[in-house]
Structure 1
Amino acid sequence: MAGQWMMILIGVSLGMTCLAAPTECHFNSQALCEYEGRHYSLGQSWMEQGCIQCTCLHPFGVGCCETVEQPVDFPPWCQVRVESVTCKVSLVLTSDPRLPCLPGEGNSVDPSHGEMNMKLAG
């Protein structure tokens, strides 16, 4: 019975932590509630590199969830860029990551080929 309550507590805590519709979560019962030299107590959260939010579930361990939902349906000439500080996701052109990639109707020409390249160059 105590094991069931522990799993419910962990599930509720992870669910509350991951409001950003995480793509993956994990729980480590051996992990310490510590990150970059700072100690955390029960219920406290912190953001790790890679946009992973962790919550201290002491004495049970640490639960972590990805907070960035990566797009999966975009043209091959686009790539996903995740800003590590803000965890903001955007699509950029593979040929020039400084430019946004705007997939959709009217933007169906691969900019690395043909007519669109001539318009950009001239």
Structure 2
Amino acid sequence: MDPKASHGVMMMIFMASLVWMKCSAAPMECHFNSQALCEYDGKQYSMGESWMEQGCVQCTCLHPVGVGCCETVHRPVDFPPWCEVRVESLTCQVTLVMTSDPRQRCIPGEENNIDPRHGALNMKLG
């Protein structure tokens, strides 16, 4: 297979993986940069090699056509407005925490996670 065809096949595989990841249940951000070099943190990478960048982003060298990168974390999308998503950058661990007190975990559906804007009333509708 000539080099141009080989690069075309690699590009199609990468684009197909982006589509698959976008269509899966957990949203993940991906991007492709045709101007990027296969280099990170002073190290050179060759065709097909991958590395992990800050922010839980995995990149793959598609030399000479560029670099493709995708988030590796699955962020929740359906949670109460008084909760927020936190991503631990070293471990890439995702947790839901209370917006008012990020030290407390937010577990939707549990009694201790009543909307804090309701104060002490926290009345249940019958």
Q: Same fold (TM over 0.5)?
A: yes
Taking only the aligned residue pairs, the percentage that are identical comes to: 63
Name 2:45's counterpart in structure 1: 40
Determine the structure 2 residue equivalent to 1:120: none
**Equivalent residue for 2:56?**
51
Aligned position for 1:65: 70
The question of whether the paired residues in 1 share the 8 Å contact of 2:83 and 2:97 is answered with: yes
The 1:116/1:3 distance shift into structure 2, 3 A limit, reads farther
Partners of 1:48 and 1:65 lie apart in 2 by 10
Aligned to 1:31: 36
Match of 2:91 among 86, 89, 95: 86
**C-alpha contact (below 8 Å) 1:22/1:67 kept by paired residues:** no
> Could you say what secondary structure the match of 1:11 adopts?
helix
Give the Å deviation of 1:84.
0.4
Q: Deviations over 1:1-58 (max 9, x none)?
A: x867634312324639x98966222211111100111111111111111111100111
Given the two structures, how large is their TM-score scaled by the length of structure 2?
Answer: 0.74
* Kept after mapping to 2: 8 A contact 1:22/1:66: no
Q: Counterpart of 2:12? A: 11
TM-score, normalising length from structure 1? 0.76
Residues 111 and 22 (structure 1), Cα distance of their counterparts in 2 relative to 1, 3 Å cut: closer
Q: Match of 2:11, SS?
A: helix
Report the Cα distance in structure 2 between the residues aligned to 1:73 and 1:8, rounded to whole angstroms.
36
Contact 1:54-1:64 at 8 Å conserved across structures = yes
Provide structure 1 residue ranges, at least 5 long, that are not aligned to the other structure: 118-122
RMSD (Å), alpha carbons: 3.2
Q: Does the Cα contact within 8 Å between 2:57 and 2:69 map onto a contact in 1?
A: yes
What secondary structure sits across from 1:81 in the alignment?
Answer: strand
Gap runs ≥5 in structure 2: none
Contact 2:36 2:67 survives alignment (8 Å): yes
